[in-house]
Amino acid sequence: MLQFTSQEMAVIRKNTSQDIIEQIIQDNQVVLNSDTLVPPDARATWNLYYFCPTHGVRLSWDRNRPTEHVCPVDGEVLTGEPYDGAWWRWLNGLNSKACNDLGLLWQVTQDKQYVNKVREILLGYAEYYPTYQEHGGIPYNGPGKANAQTLCEANCNLDFARGYDFVKEQLNAEDQMFIEQRLLREGAEFLMQHRADQLHNHEMKISATIGVIGLILDDQKFIDFSVNTPYGLKYQLEHGVKGEGLWFEGSIHYHYYALQALLNFEKLACKTEYSLQAVPNFHTMLAFPLKLLINTGDFPRLNDCIAGQEKLTHSHLFEFGYREFKDPLFASALQNIYQSKPRNNIDALLYGVNELPVVEPLKCQPIHAEQSGITIMHNEEHDNMLLVKHSPYGGEHDHYDRLGIIITRNGKEILPDLGTTGYGAELHYGYYKNTVTHNTLAVNQKNQPPANPTVNQFLEDQKYTWLDTQADWCGELPTVDSHTIVQWDLDSYKDVVFRRQILWLGDAAIEFNTVENPHRQQLDMIWHVRGQHRSLASTQGCDNPLDGPLARMTSCHEVTLKESIDLCYSIEQQTEFNQQVITDCSASLLLGYAPDNPATSDLAYTILRSQEAVLKVATVHNLTQSDEIRMSDLEWRSDVINFTLRKGGVEQSVSINQETGVVLGV
């Protein structure tokens, strides 16, 4: 066995609790308690098709109902494709996971039933794998054999390989040869043919699996391809981690997904000459996103992040990371993870130290990561936070929401980033991934083209934070060394310049938005609030004038904006949330409701609409739960912004120097 020495396994066996054994059995009961079922042909497709098209939630998978797929929200039974093929993909995942888990269970219990089940699964796939037909058609992805994309092929083959390593010594020479030649080598050769020349989390996964198979089979060809070739693991580490340390795709979920792939390889390679820990970005990649936890206790759902993937649950990364680096930051991450559950799991058993140090858990901290393009402003006293996304374009898993914002009040997300749902569900491309479902600027209700925003000014003072950032579509679009599909409208955004300046006061966030719109396109400044409009009764109802993703908006009301308007929202478990919107331009407000995530409830949308050649809009977000905060006497010039701010019955004159970012009067 390559993964652990006999001495290491003796210690693991000694330290394995009955709870862990029972948990492994519970996690794999579907496979253990059923006849071994392996698809005889290439019928498995994509697990992300297995989502309800109406609610965007994962369907309920049932081993005994391969042609009936139930929505857990309303019980609707869905049949046919794409759900049948996705059912088989799910089965492949359960089978491959069981190989790894039950192989480990054999090692710690010496119970032959687990070897027998792993042997059945591996021989079953080895029987059919060479004759599986390549198939695919998944956006952005190469084909698969057992599954419909190269990524899924890598994920399954990784667990097949690790499970094989656990039980190899219990198999006869004939079985070993059959599995190694027809499944592991066949799988690695297929992955080598279809690893793309691009920076991408997929290529990290594919390379890691090829490397793991190479290490287990002692095949130098596979190891070299995995580690040392262009777009292999080392190349991805050196070129895919940008700025302060964020993976170029800009999604924290995919940052850790790529890192998970790297550690899948490193857990076998760490004692060999092929270890990658000396590459500087290895530690940086582990550490940086931990600085981006927001005050909900989660990561922000930036870009492609399916609900649930924003949670800090990565014990499989940080148990190993702390053992290897002894960085207290990783111990703090584990402290957060184990606040709600005991440290009695496989990751700690296999890769953790005996005892973690006493450290403080992680909490939300202000950060200005200019190169990675994320700024977080946090007020600890009131537990309010504002995040601004000004990151460079990140390719496939990016969303089209440059200069988008997230706001929390008293630890509750009230202007959220929705993330997304399963990519096979209509709501992914049809709703969540679009500009208009983010707190930012949309032109003609179309998606923003790629842009790399610039920071004009950032200034942090004891009393305030000032951020001045800008995105424009005036020249050539930025590119990324990663496959993309055009899902934006360059004509709509041609020559548009969007400047978003934010004054953070802790109990209030004030936006100053300027849009240069030389071709007088339809501009929409969008804010969506996790709450209910309180002022619709005094406004005029209208038909929804929008097409595209927000054609699904309901209860639409339209208001002509005359300089200033106060908006009020009821917020569950909090007092009302108030906004003030100010402009001297010709504009109107469109109010209504559209889906939250999951799509079982709605958000309150406020959209400011204008076709002015230069649009200037100031917005005050009152983050107190009782005090009035209002702006008046706004004078907005190119060099200075002056206004009167009334807070808690006290007026103060405020002046912002736009050249230096210095704010006087707060």
Alpha helices, DSSP H, located in 142-297: 150-167, 173-179, 186-194, 201-217, 220-228, 233-240, 252-269, 280-287
Look at the block and give the residue holding tokens 């949330």: 577
At residue 419, the 3 state secondary structure works out as: coil
Residue 63 DSSP class: T
Residues 258/286, Cβ–Cβ less than 8 Å: no
Q: What angle do CA 228, 233, 234 make, to 5 degrees?
A: 60
Look at residues 604, 656, 610 and name the one whose alpha carbon lies nearest to residue 631.
656
Contacts of 78 (CB under 8 A, 6+ apart): 52, 53, 59, 68, 69, 70, 71
User: Which pLDDT value is given to residue 536?
Assistant: 77
The token duo for 556 is 């639409």
Residue 540 CA, chain-centre distance (Å), reads 38
Look at the block and give the residue holding tokens 């004509």: 491
Residues 52/600, Cβ–Cβ less than 8 Å: no
The CA distance from 254 to 299, in Å, is: 12
The token duo for 481 is 């060394």
The token duo for 272 is 């060999």
User: Which pLDDT value is given to residue 611?
Assistant: 98
Residues 163/122, Cβ–Cβ less than 8 Å: yes
- Strand blocks (E) in 57-98: 69-70, 77-78
The token duo for 504 is 């953070």
Before 598, cis peptide (omega within 30)?
yes
Across the chain, which has 666 residues, the per-10-residue mean pLDDT values are 95 96 96 96 94 93 96 96 97 98 97 97 98 93 96 98 98 98 98 97 98 98 98 98 95 96 97 95 97 97 94 96 97 95 95 96 97 97 97 96 98 97 93 98 98 97 96 96 95 98 97 98 98 84 95 95 93 95 95 96 98 98 93 95 93 95 92
The amino acid present at 359, given as its one-letter code, is: V
The token duo for 356 is 């973690």
pTM for this model (two decimals): 0.94
The CA distance from 569 to 590, in Å, is: 15
User: Which pLDDT value is given to residue 333?
Assistant: 97
User: Which pLDDT value is given to residue 650?
Assistant: 92
The CA distance from 131 to 432, in Å, is: 38
User: Which pLDDT value is given to residue 535?
Assistant: 77
Residue 181 DSSP class: I
Residues 440/403, Cβ–Cβ less than 8 Å: yes
User: Which pLDDT value is given to residue 538?
Assistant: 72
The amino acid present at 60, given as its one-letter code, is: S
The CA distance from 614 to 517, in Å, is: 6
The CA distance from 422 to 304, in Å, is: 10
User: Which pLDDT value is given to residue 625?
Assistant: 86
User: Which pLDDT value is given to residue 513?
Assistant: 98
